[in-house]
Structure 1
Amino acid sequence: MLVLASFPLAGCDSLSSLNPFDKTEKYKPEIIPEVPADQIYNEGLAHIDKRNYSDAAKKFDALDKQYPYSQWSQKALIMNTYANYEGGAYDDAISSARRYLALHPASQDAAYAQYLMAMSYYKEVPDVSRDQERAEKALVALQELVDRYPKSEYVPDAKFKIQVLRDQLAGKEMEVGRYYLKKRNYTAAINRFRIVVSKYQTTRHVEEALERLVEAYMALGIVAEAQTAAAVLGHNFPDSQWYKDAYALLAKDGIQPREDTGSWISKIFSGGRLG
């Protein structure tokens, strides 16, 4: 038989204390005073002066959110980009730079935003033994800076870094090409050296790329292409050790450099001459 135990009621006060909605205290909303925009901005600048870039970025982010669609928001966004860049928060800098360019593409600071975005990629470019995605993105961002803002003060530095990055990317292709050449995968090696010759012919790697093409084509028995690669190398770099090596390699088989104007190598080099 079910026995129901009965307990005395504790009284109204006890029941009231168990009910979260039955309170005698009145709700008092907390009123947060609005901080003037210039005060938040100056606080962000103060953090930058102290090199507290993370705190500075937080201030500028708060300013952007509290005063959206205002001139203060625009100033906060570019300063947020700068603070993140200086603080090494490159992904955040890239994100805020992209947002700035989307919202204010024609502003006087647009070129600077583009430069900070490019430099954020540039700062994380690894050595040639690793994936070069950041290098490729930095190159694109820097080229966009040169193309979109040709009169910007950042263009000279951008052009210098473009050449550095092109050399970096060519170096990566050379590394992979040498690997394939060593493994006697000559077709794969040629494809890599061809990229250097066609896309990065103004870099320091082009001499070696042409000589390696001589090696690979000779190994495959494609003598005419090997002769053309050596001839183009000799036209442009007659005193190069790479040309001497290429010449010696051909001489072993009793042949000499000779340009075939129908070759893809000759066409790329405009009749044998660089550029």
Structure 2
Amino acid sequence: MKNLTRITLISTIALLTACSSSPDKDEPLLKNAGPQTLYTKAKEQLTTGNYNAAVETLSALDSRFPFGPLSHQVQLDLIFAYYKTGKTDQAIATIDRFIRLNPNHSDVDFALHMRGLVNLDADKNLFQEMLGIDRSDRDPSYARQAFEDFRSLIEKFPNSRYAADAKQRMVAIKDRLARYEIEIARFYMERQAWVAAANRGQYVVEYYSDTPHVKDALQIMIECYDQLGLDELKQNARTTLLLNFPDAANRNDS
């Protein structure tokens, strides 16, 4: 019985040792592998969703064979892998390098599209979204940059297969940016900073006129101008409000 237990223990240890060391067996192979072998490995990792491993393999491939026949595709795949792993800075740096060095490449539109997606993803807060918390007042810097990325894509490559998606995302981003301005305007109103609040409302009317937040912006402007005693501006804002939102006539703004 003691011998059997000892044999079982030794077998278990050997099995665990083999399992723990099996990943290491690939390292010498990958270190000495050619670009095609490395790339095949990276594609397998991408296909199975092992994006962290794909980042390591593609990064090694990019550094060891920067001018090989697969270099462009490696960089594009690396951009995608960085995006999937939430590595914003690395993704943006790789995208910018690719565009700078390959301005006429057929996949520049893909790189621009990915730039927008990376910045848009950085703007999101997954934890807050999971809890259903609306944080429209969070810094929109990444959202603004994503908007510019998608606009650049559409302007430079209007016939790109990514153009339609970029347009849809721009609509959503404009809504996000308009909500931000409204939240900041209300923040100023709570502190009786009427001029600053009115300016935020005016900004929404001028730059986000195709969003559903124009009504709120005009109502904010009306209240602020009333507090400031600017009757002409108040009346102009009220007229615009009633022309575009007749249901607002029930609101007592006089």
- TM above 0.5, one fold? yes
1:174, distance to aligned residue in structure 2 (A):
0.8
Paired position in structure 2 for 1:50? 48
Residues 91, 120 of structure 1: 8 Å contact kept:
no
AA of the residue aligned to 1:217: Y
SS, match of residue 121 in structure 1: helix
Residues 64, 74 of structure 1: 8 Å contact kept:
no
Paired position in structure 2 for 1:131? 139
How far apart, CA to CA, are the structure 2 residues paired with 1:90 and 1:176? 27
- Of 114-123 and 56-65, more deviation after overlay is shown by 56-65
Paired position in structure 2 for 1:166? 174
Deviations 1:8-63 (A, max 9, x none): xxxxxxxxxxxxxxxxxxxxxxxx98522211110100111221111112222222
Deviations 1:83-107 (A, max 9, x none): 1112222322222111111111221
In the alignment, does 2:226 pair up with 1:226? no
Paired position in structure 1 for 2:107? 109
**Count of equivalent residues:** 215
Q: Which runs of 5+ in 1 are unaligned?
A: 1-31, 251-275
Larger Rg: 1
In the alignment, does 2:247 pair up with 1:249? no
Alignment RMSD (CA, Å): 1.7
Residues 150, 170 of structure 2: 8 Å contact kept:
yes
Among residues 159, 164, 176, which one is paired with 1:151 in the alignment?
A: 159
Paired position in structure 1 for 2:98? 100
In the alignment, does 2:178 pair up with 1:180? no
SS, match of residue 131 in structure 1: coil
Instruction: Give the % identical residues.
Output: 28
SS, match of residue 103 in structure 2: coil
AA of the residue aligned to 2:64: Q
How far apart, CA to CA, are the structure 2 residues paired with 1:83 and 1:123? 14
Among residues 204, 210, 224, which one is paired with 1:216 in the alignment?
A: 224
AA of the residue aligned to 1:155: A
Deviations 1:225-264 (A, max 9, x none): 111111111122223x4x532xx221xxxxxxxxxxxxxx
SS, match of residue 208 in structure 1: helix
How far apart, CA to CA, are the structure 1 residues paired with 2:236 and 2:97? 50
The runs of at least 4 aligned residues of structure 1 exceeding 3 Å deviation read none
1:130, distance to aligned residue in structure 2 (A):
1.4
Instruction: Give the TM-score normalised by structure 2.
Output: 0.80
SS, match of residue 124 in structure 1: helix
Residues 189, 216 of structure 1: 8 Å contact kept:
yes
1:114, distance to aligned residue in structure 2 (A):
1.0
1:69, distance to aligned residue in structure 2 (A):
2.4
Richer in helix (by share): 2
Paired position in structure 2 for 1:70? 68
Paired position in structure 1 for 2:5? none
Paired position in structure 2 for 1:263? none
How far apart, CA to CA, are the structure 2 residues paired with 1:33 and 1:200? 53
Paired position in structure 2 for 1:205? 213
